[in-house]
């Protein structure tokens, strides 16, 4: 009899738990437009707060600070923005349940700013099927701007994705600019490439090849590495590239690997190639970290599209950024001062979102938000590089398509200095 | 290889000095490998550079493997959280340096803290469940997850900068870069190996620890405080782990919560390769694994064996050793009598 | 017969609750309940290995990977019916499990844990190397997508079916052999149990179950099979679930599956630690606590309560 009683007790617990869960499910009502209420707009996003890409976590921190700033001034049409950021550790297996939670349990208005190509690839179909905006993604994969209104099965995009949009200049465009630079300044170069072996890295490599055109055979060594590889393993690839006789070294790597590559490069005797570092890893603090461990950063070339608080501190946008960070994310003051421009990136994205939200009207719907985002002409974003703009139209699905070159000078305590004109990296 | 023993402890003492018959073959094998490497280095700069990198990497594996060997020898437990514990103590060292301590002062303080932490963990978490192998495994697994979460929570998952103890310069030996920090690291790890070996071979404490692990009941009868031995074993292993973490940090470029994760499996493979009870084996195993994997990845074209396959290869090595010679290169065969 | 009535009652009760749940829960919570079902299948299988046969494996995530990739690849390339792919996953993983079980014979206890741990860590890298067929880091996507309800029904139907299969296996000669091995390998051999056969069989069965769970897992992840989904953490979750289950009664496996399936999701809502780190801290602490309190798992708790009741 004891056995039965215990089992009935357990059954009771199960029933109670079920009731509780059902109760909370019923309690959360869905308004007509999910996430929009009289005084609030709820959005969400997935970011790597821990794991291999954790150094990007300052991006959502900056976005949250920007929304706090906007909310303090009354919000958008009297609605305060609430941003639910979840940690997916750059792992698509965690992104999917997190996104499901945001959409099905938290009923967010839109998914804004999520970081990562692979996480995005795992969720865009789900979000497009449910007509949930998946916008201002923090990844430059060209995938987000291609086959948007119409599917193109040949390119692997089996359905259209009108609800998905990127923001930053795309990777192939950036790589094409590097190719043009090499052909112009070092036409007989032997090129060595280190790239991450996923969609992000391959996107960059293919862009470089297409930019080189008939000269792509000048790539004498292309080494891939995995995002989970440790520093020394990445280093051994660099040793290989050095051994191939390359005199141009192109790094298409996420920060930890890029830093390891630069450090190893600095240690190989008698090898001083012209080095390019992709802009996702060109953050000032990364370069300084690499230099402090033995890299030689002088002369490394990259590109940028946002302002730098250390190289251009007197621009109005940078002064505003300093104020916002100081007031709404004071724990990041030091980080800001040492030049972490992920913070500026986050502020810039927040600005674009709020701008689009305003254009979505007094009673925004998901559709009106997408319409606003797809017809943007944003020339006065204070955080992006002077002279650049964020533009979209029905035909133009890439919001930012401009870059400017920069070169590092000043050694371990130095900084980037832009040179040349604002260039078009578009299609 | 069983000797007639008048007491289990005397038997242990005797076994401590015995030379296994198979070890002559092992020594020959190692000498052959060393000659191969030397010849290769002299003939090709790239080969030499790979070898140097492989040795540096291997000594990091060996350092963590040493901690694993110590814990296994003292408590017959595999601590899956050893890497994360090493990472935690490295963060503590970093934190002390941020508070103003010099590198070596922080280093010393961290070793003490690690010892205390290790003994505390053994007493609170492992002792209550030590009767069940699977419970101990699960607890160390839970610890692995918990420590990772705590470090991310307290210090954040981004990169931290730590000064290198030996500086960033390298020796240029005929076109091959040998970093000062790699040389320093190998010396430190080697010294640790010698110290651990001496502990087990010459000291009463070491003897007590080995007895407590092998025959706890008999050891208790002879007056060994078994519980204390186990706790001390964990403490010392934590100290070795701290050394491993601090030595690994410069080669991993920066400090982050994932510091030891790429190293853990290789450390396991190194420990098993060398023999789970042999400190010297841990280092040798680590060096062998480091060098062979680096050479393979460097020379075999990427489409056949890319860096991706390093881990599966290490796993294959582990499997092979356990099948062919489970006691590893320097271990003794254990015979179970029923 | 008398002993079986309470067991039958609890089975019927659980079945009834499961039938009612989809009508009562929101769609999001149905997806959570489906997750528990997926882990139920995997933990059930692993429990046969750890609880009944006493072998430790920290590598069953690898078998989930094989099962999951089977479903994704067959669906992408041949548009195979999803249920058929699950059957294929079962069969393939059974065979692979037998193959893995063979060398595993030589190891026991912590050595086996070590080897399987290394297996769990290295298997996800293999699709990265052979990216043309296995999709590399980007993974393989199945051609069909299914709803939360489909996965719920599929997961719990498989659970019911495989529970029945496990029950049939374990009540017979095979089950007795397993238990004999767990209690004392030496005694088992002395009594005539052919160790290699049964140990390998236990591996094969548990791998097959993990394979089916892997198929469901991939379908629940929007049809994506990517290496990063099958990392070490997954294998750890399975082992923890099996340990909590203890000797694998229905309730034990249910408790284990619910623990590893729900706790990571729920712990992201914890206030102080916050969504970013809640999972690891809470989950890790909970695992340790549960093991300290219930070293023999749920079954140990049951046994203890029974002893208390009789005293």
pLDDT tens string B26-52? 788 888 888 888 888 888 877 888 888
**Interchain CB distance below 8 Å, C28 and A105:** yes
What is the band of A353 on the pLDDT scale with cuts at 50, 70, 90?
A: very high
Q: Which chains touch C (3 or more CB pairs under 8 A)?
A: A, B
Residues C274, C277, C279, C283, Cα dihedral to 10° = -110
pLDDT for B22: 59
Domain membership flag for residue A85 = yes
- Tokens 């063979």 — which residue? C102
Instruction: Please tell me if residue A22 touches chain C, with a CB cutoff of 8 Å.
Output: yes
Instruction: Please tell me if residue A4 touches chain C, with a CB cutoff of 8 Å.
Output: yes
Same domain, yes or no: A261 and A142: no
Stretch 24-53 of chain A: residues touching chain C, C-beta under 8 Å: 25-26, 28, 49-50
The DSSP bridge partners found for residue A416 are: A408
Same domain, yes or no: A140 and A50: yes
Nearest to A299 by CA among A291, A307, A310: A291
On the 0-12 / 13-18 / 19+ scale of CB atoms within 10 A, A423 is middle
Same domain, yes or no: A147 and A177: no
Other CB atoms within 10 Å distance of the CB of residue A299: 12
**Measured between alpha carbons, how far is B321 from B302 in angstroms, rounded to an integer?**
26
Strand locations in chain C, DSSP E? 140-141, 224-225
On the 0-12 / 13-18 / 19+ scale of CB atoms within 10 A, A188 is exposed
Q: How high is the mean pLDDT of chain C?
A: 82
What is the complex's ipTM, to 2 decimals? 0.83
C300 pLDDT more than 60: yes
What is the band of A3 on the pLDDT scale with cuts at 50, 70, 90?
A: very low
* First-last CA distance in chain C: 25
Distance from CA of B114 to the nearest CA of A (A): 24
Range with the largest mean pLDDT of A141-150, A246-255, B199-208, B272-281 = A246-255
Q: How many structural domains are present in chain A?
A: 2
- Tokens 């019911």 — which residue? C160
Domains in chain B: ranges and CATH: 24-324 (1.10.3470)
What is the band of C295 on the pLDDT scale with cuts at 50, 70, 90?
A: confident
In chain A, whose CA is at the least distance from the CA of C34? A97
**Measured between alpha carbons, how far is A178 from C157 in angstroms, rounded to an integer?**
55
Selecting from A57, A92, A105 the residue whose C-beta is nearest the C-beta of C228 gives A92
Instruction: Express each pLDDT in A55-99 by its tens digit.
Output: 888 999 999 999 999 999 999 999 999 999 998 888 887 888 899
pLDDT for C248: 61
Same domain, yes or no: A341 and A213: no
Nearest to A165 by CA among A203, A208, A132: A132
Same domain, yes or no: A152 and A186: no
- Number of helical H runs and strand E runs in chain C: 15, 2
C129 pLDDT more than 80: no
pLDDT for B306: 65
A6 pLDDT more than 80: no
Rounded to an integer, the average pLDDT of B53-81 is 88
Domain membership flag for residue C163 = yes
Same domain, yes or no: A230 and A297: yes
The DSSP bridge partners found for residue A415 are: A409
C270 pLDDT more than 70: no
Instruction: Please tell me if residue A123 touches chain C, with a CB cutoff of 8 Å.
Output: yes
DSSP A384: B
Domain membership flag for residue A255 = yes
Same domain, yes or no: A316 and A247: no
Lowest mean pLDDT among A58-62, C115-119, C182-186, C210-214: C182-186
Instruction: Express each pLDDT in C5-32 by its tens digit.
Output: 667 787 888 888 888 888 888 888 888 8
Instruction: Express each pLDDT in B112-162 by its tens digit.
Output: 999 999 999 999 999 888 887 778 888 998 999 999 889 988 888 777 888
**Measured between alpha carbons, how far is A91 from A53 in angstroms, rounded to an integer?**
10
Q: Give the residue numbers spanning the domain of C153.
A: 26-234
pLDDT for B10: 45
Rounded to an integer, the average pLDDT of C181-196 is 76
Predicted TM-score (pTM) of this structure = 0.83
A253 and A225 Cβ atoms separated by less than 8 Å: yes
- Helix H or strand E segment including B316: helix B310-324
B8 pLDDT more than 50: no
Which residues in chain A have Cβ-Cβ distances shorter than 8 Å to C125? 226
Range with the largest mean pLDDT of A20-24, B5-9, C102-106 = C102-106
pLDDT for A13: 45
A36 pLDDT more than 80: yes
Q: Tokens standing for C297?
A: 């798992």
Selecting from A7, A118, A121 the residue whose C-beta is nearest the C-beta of C6 gives A7
A381 pLDDT more than 90: yes
CA distances from B54 to A331, B186, B251, C153 (A): 40, 12, 12, 52
Greatest alpha-carbon pair distance for chain C in Å reads 64
Decide the pairing of beta strands A248-252 and A274-277.
parallel
Instruction: Express each pLDDT in B158-174 by its tens digit.
Output: 778 888 788 777 787 77
**Measured between alpha carbons, how far is A92 from B336 in angstroms, rounded to an integer?**
47
Rounded to an integer, the average pLDDT of C41-56 is 85
Distance of CA A326 to the CA centre of its chain: 23
DSSP A186: -
CA distances from B252 to A232, A265, B56, B241 (A): 7, 15, 11, 16
Give the strands of the sheet with A274-277, arranged side by side: A219-225, A191-196, A248-252, A274-277, A301-304, A402-409, A415-424
What is the band of B307 on the pLDDT scale with cuts at 50, 70, 90?
A: low
Instruction: Express each pLDDT in B221-263 by its tens digit.
Output: 888 888 888 899 999 999 999 999 998 888 777 788 888 887 8
The domain that contains A334 carries what CATH number?
Answer: 3.40.50.2300
B187 pLDDT more than 70: yes
Selecting from B72, B139, B315 the residue whose C-beta is nearest the C-beta of C291 gives B139
Three-class SS of residue A306?
strand
A19 pLDDT more than 60: no
**Measured between alpha carbons, how far is B83 from A283 in angstroms, rounded to an integer?**
30
Cβ within 8 Å of residue B326, ≥6 positions away? B333, C106, C107, C111
Domain membership flag for residue A371 = yes
**Measured between alpha carbons, how far is A220 from C73 in angstroms, rounded to an integer?**
34
Q: Tokens standing for C108?
A: 């026991």
Three-class SS of residue B5?
coil
B82 pLDDT more than 60: yes
% of chain A with per-residue pLDDT over 90? 63
Same domain, yes or no: A322 and A299: no
In chain B, whose CA is at the least distance from the CA of C290? B139
Q: How many structural domains are present in chain C?
A: 1
**Interchain CB distance below 8 Å, C6 and A49:** no
pLDDT for C32: 87
**Half-sphere exposure of residue B136: CA atoms within 13 angstroms, side-chain side:** 20
Domain membership flag for residue C239 = no
Backbone region of residue A79 per phi and psi (left: phi > 0; alpha: psi in -120 to 50; beta: other values): beta
Same domain, yes or no: A247 and A359: no
SS (H, E, C) C281-295: HHHHHHHHHHHHHCC
Other CB atoms within 10 Å distance of the CB of residue A386: 12
Same domain, yes or no: A325 and A335: yes
Q: Tokens standing for B207?
A: 């003897």
Decide the pairing of beta strands A219-225 and A191-196.
parallel
Q: Give the residue numbers spanning the domain of A314.
A: 32-169+305-396
Instruction: Express each pLDDT in C72-120 by its tens digit.
Output: 988 888 888 888 989 999 999 999 999 888 877 777 777 788 888 888 8
The DSSP bridge partners found for residue B255 are: B160
Distance from CA of A371 to the nearest CA of B (A): 36
Dihedral pair phi/psi, residue A138, rounded to 5°: -85, 70
**Measured between alpha carbons, how far is B260 from B166 in angstroms, rounded to an integer?**
20
Selecting from A18, A121, A197 the residue whose C-beta is nearest the C-beta of C128 gives A197
Rounded to an integer, the average pLDDT of A222-251 is 87
A14 pLDDT more than 60: no
Q: Residues A316, A318, A324, A326: is their CA dihedral positive or negative?
A: negative
**Interchain CB distance below 8 Å, C277 and B149:** yes
A150 and A129 Cβ atoms separated by less than 8 Å: no
**Measured between alpha carbons, how far is C118 from C98 in angstroms, rounded to an integer?**
18
Which residues in chain B have Cβ-Cβ distances shorter than 8 Å to A231? 251-253
Nearest to C21 by CA among C164, C150, C152: C152
**Measured between alpha carbons, how far is A167 from A384 in angstroms, rounded to an integer?**
12
Same domain, yes or no: A49 and A106: yes
Instruction: Please tell me if residue C139 touches chain A, with a CB cutoff of 8 Å.
Output: yes
Domain membership flag for residue C304 = no
Rounded to an integer, the average pLDDT of B286-293 is 89
Same domain, yes or no: A129 and A206: no
B270 and B30 Cβ atoms separated by less than 8 Å: no
C66 and C89 Cβ atoms separated by less than 8 Å: yes
Q: Tokens standing for C257?
A: 């599956």
Q: Which residue has the higher pLDDT, C296 or A306?
A: A306
Distance of CA C188 to the CA centre of its chain: 26
Cβ within 8 Å of residue C175, ≥6 positions away? C52, C169
């Amino acid at each position: 009899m004891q056995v039965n009683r215990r089992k009935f007790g357990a059954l009771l617990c199960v029933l109670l738990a079920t009731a509780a869960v059902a109760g909370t499910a019923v309690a959360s009502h869905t308004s007509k437009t999910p996430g929009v209420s009289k005084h609030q707009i709820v959005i969400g996003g997935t970011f790597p707060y821990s794991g291999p890409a954790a150094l990007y976590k300052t991006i959502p921190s900056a976005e949250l600070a920007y929304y706090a700033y906007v909310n303090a001034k009354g919000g958008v049409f009297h609605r305060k923005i609430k941003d639910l950021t979840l940690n997916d550790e750059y792992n698509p297996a965690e992104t999917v349940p997190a996104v499901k939670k945001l959409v099905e349990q938290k009923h967010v208005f839109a998914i804004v700013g999520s970081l990562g190509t692979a996480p995005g690839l795992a969720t865009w179909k789900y979000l497009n099927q449910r007509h949930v905006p998946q916008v201002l993604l923090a990844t430059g994969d060209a995938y987000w701007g291609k086959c948007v209104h119409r599917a193109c099965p040949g390119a692997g995009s089996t359905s259209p994705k009108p609800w998905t949009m990127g923001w930053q200049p795309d990777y192939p465009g950036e790589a094409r600019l590097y190719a043009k630079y090499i052909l112009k300044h070092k036409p007989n170069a032997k090129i060595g490439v280190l790239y991450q072996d996923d969609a992000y890295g391959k996107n960059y490599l293919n862009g470089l090849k297409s930019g080189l055109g008939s000269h792509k055979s000048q790539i004498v060594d292309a080494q891939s590495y995995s995002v989970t590889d440790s520093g020394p393993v990445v280093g051994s690839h660099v040793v290989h590239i050095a051994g191939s006789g390359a005199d141009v070294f192109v790094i298409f790597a996420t920060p930890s690997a890029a830093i390891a590559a630069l450090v190893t490069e600095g240690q190989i005797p008698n090898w001083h190639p012209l080095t390019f570092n992709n802009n996702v890893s060109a953050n000032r603090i990364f370069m300084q970290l690499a230099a402090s461990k033995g890299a030689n950063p002088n002369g490394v070339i990259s590109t940028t599209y946002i302002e730098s608080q250390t190289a251009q501190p007197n621009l109005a946008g940078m002064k505003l950024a300093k104020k916002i960070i100081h007031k709404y994310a004071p724990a990041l003051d030091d980080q800001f001062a040492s030049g972490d421009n992920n913070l500026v990136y986050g502020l810039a994205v927040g600005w674009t979102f709020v701008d689009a939200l305003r254009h979505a009207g007094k009673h925004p719907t998901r559709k009106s938000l997408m319409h606003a985002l797809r017809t943007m002409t944003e020339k006065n974003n204070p955080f992006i590089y002077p002279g650049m703009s964020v533009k979209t139209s029905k035909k133009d699905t890439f919001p930012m398509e401009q870059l400017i070159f920069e070169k590092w000078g000043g050694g371990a305590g130095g900084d980037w200095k832009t040179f040349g004109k604002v260039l078009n990296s578009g299609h | 290889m069983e000797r007639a023993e008048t007491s289990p402890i005397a038997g242990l003492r005797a076994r401590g000095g015995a030379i296994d018959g198979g070890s002559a073959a092992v020594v020959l094998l190692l000498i052959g490998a060393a000659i191969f490497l030397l010849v290769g280095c002299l003939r090709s700069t790239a080969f030499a550079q790979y070898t140097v990198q492989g040795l540096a990497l291997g000594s990091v594996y060996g350092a963590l493997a040493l901690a694993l060997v110590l814990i296994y020898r003292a408590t017959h437990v595999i601590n899956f959280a050893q890497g994360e514990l090493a990472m935690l103590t490295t963060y503590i060292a970093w934190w002390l340096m941020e508070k103003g301590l010099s590198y070596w002062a922080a280093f010393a303080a961290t070793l003490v803290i690690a010892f205390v932490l290790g003994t505390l963990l053994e007493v609170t978490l492992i002792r209550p469940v030590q009767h069940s192998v699977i419970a101990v495994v699960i607890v160390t697994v839970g610890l692995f997850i918990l420590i990772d979460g705590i470090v991310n929570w307290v210090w954040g998952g981004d990169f931290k900068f730590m000064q290198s103890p030996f500086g960033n310069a390298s020796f240029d030996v005929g076109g091959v870069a040998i970093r000062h920090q790699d040389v320093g690291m190998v010396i430190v790890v080697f010294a640790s190996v010698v110290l651990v070996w001496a502990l087990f071979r010459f000291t009463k404490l070491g003897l007590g620890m080995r007895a407590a692990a092998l025959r706890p009941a008999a050891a208790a009868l002879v007056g060994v405080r078994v519980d204390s031995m186990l706790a001390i074993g964990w403490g010392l292993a934590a100290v070795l782990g701290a050394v491993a973490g601090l030595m690994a940090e410069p080669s991993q470029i920066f400090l982050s919560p994932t510091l030891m994760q790429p190293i853990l499996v290789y450390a396991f493979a190194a420990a098993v390769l060398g023999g789970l009870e042999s400190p010297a084996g841990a280092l040798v195993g680590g060096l062998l694994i480091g060098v062979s994997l680096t050479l393979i990845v460097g020379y075999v074209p990427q489409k056949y064996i890319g860096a991706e396959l390093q881990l599966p290869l290490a796993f294959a090595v582990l499997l092979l050793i356990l099948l062919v010679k489970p006691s590893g290169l320097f271990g003794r065969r254990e015979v179970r009598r029923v | 017969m008398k002993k079986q009535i309470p067991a039958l009652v609890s089975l019927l009760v659980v079945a009834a609750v499961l039938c009612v749940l989809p009508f009562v829960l929101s769609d999001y919570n149905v997806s959570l309940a489906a997750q528990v079902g997926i882990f139920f299948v995997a933990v059930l299988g692993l429990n046969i290995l750890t609880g009944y046969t006493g072998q430790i494996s920290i590598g069953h995530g690898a078998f989930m990977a094989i099962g999951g990739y089977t479903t994704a690849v067959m669906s992408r390339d041949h548009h195979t019916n999803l249920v058929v792919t699950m059957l294929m996953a079962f069969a393939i993983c059974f065979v692979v499990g037998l193959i893995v079980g063979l060398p595993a014979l030589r190891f026991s206890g912590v050595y086996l844990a070590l080897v399987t741990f290394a297996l769990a860590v290295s298997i996800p890298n293999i699709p990265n190397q052979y990216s043309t067929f296995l999709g590399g880091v980007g993974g393989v996507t199945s051609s069909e997508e299914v709803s939360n309800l489909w996965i719920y029904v599929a997961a719990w139907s498989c659970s019911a079916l495989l529970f029945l299969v496990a029950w049939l296996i374990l009540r017979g000669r095979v089950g007795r052999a397993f238990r004999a091995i767990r209690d004392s390998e030496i005694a088992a051999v002395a009594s005539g149990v052919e160790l290699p056969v049964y140990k390998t069989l236990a591996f094969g069965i548990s791998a097959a179950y993990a394979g089916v769970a892997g198929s469901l897992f991939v379908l629940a992840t929007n049809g994506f099979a990517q290496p990063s989904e099958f990392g070490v953490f997954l294998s750890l979750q399975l082992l923890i679930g099996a340990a909590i289950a203890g000797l694998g009664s229905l309730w034990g496996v249910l408790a284990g599956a619910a623990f590893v399936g729900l706790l990571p999701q729920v712990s992201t809502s914890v206030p102080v630690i916050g969504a970013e780190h809640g999972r690891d801290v809470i989950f890790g602490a909970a695992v340790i606590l549960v093991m300290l309190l219930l070293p023999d798992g749920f079954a140990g708790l049951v046994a203890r309560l029974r002893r208390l009741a009789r005293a």
